Amino acid sequence: MRRRRTGPGSGGPDPAGGTEGDAMDMAVGKDRARGALLGLAVGDALGAAAENLRPSEIRHRWGRIEGFVSEDPAGTDDTEYAIFSGLLLARHGSALTVSHVERAWHHWIADLDEGPFRGAGFSERGTLENLRRGLAAPISAQHRHAWSDGLAMRAAPFGVFAAGR
């Protein structure tokens, strides 16, 4: 009977309790997660100046956009809401509830006079107005403009969180 090697380089158990393959998979997963979230933020900053412009207007102003076109590039509410969602997932994980989200909206957004989320889209502003009027989630998210891209800006953190599940 042949003995199976264990430890580093063997693909077998390592002293930390998993396998070397598990550790490598985790490292690759973290790298991909970081890439997805950084890609979201950089892509948002690259496209921010062109937001809401028609393709013909973009071509007229800058031609093909291949780099930052503003002197002070920054992300928009898209990045801010992705970070917001990521923070909620980091804090609550799979136990995240509508109640957690509503409390976070009040604490970090709705109950503040100023702060981040200054460029919130009409869908988010409708939700904020409803929360400030006392409507509770999930009713607070039901308004005439609930069809925007608001969900798309929060998809990456949920994809990262659920990867491999």
Out of 3.40.50.620, 1.10.4080.10, 3.40.50.300, 3.60.140.10, select the CATH number for domain 24-162. 1.10.4080.10
Query: What predicted TM-score, i.e. pTM, was given to this entire model?
Result: 0.71
> H helices then E strands: how many in the chain?
6, 0
- Give, for all 165 residues of the chain, the pLDDT tens digit: 444 444 444 454 544 555 666 766 778 888 999 999 999 999 999 988 998 899 999 999 999 988 999 999 988 888 988 999 999 999 999 999 999 998 898 888 777 666 555 556 767 777 788 888 888 888 777 766 655 666 788 899 999 999 888
Read off φ and ψ for residue 34, nearest 5 degrees: -60, -45
Residues 6+ apart with CB under 8 A from 101: 88, 137
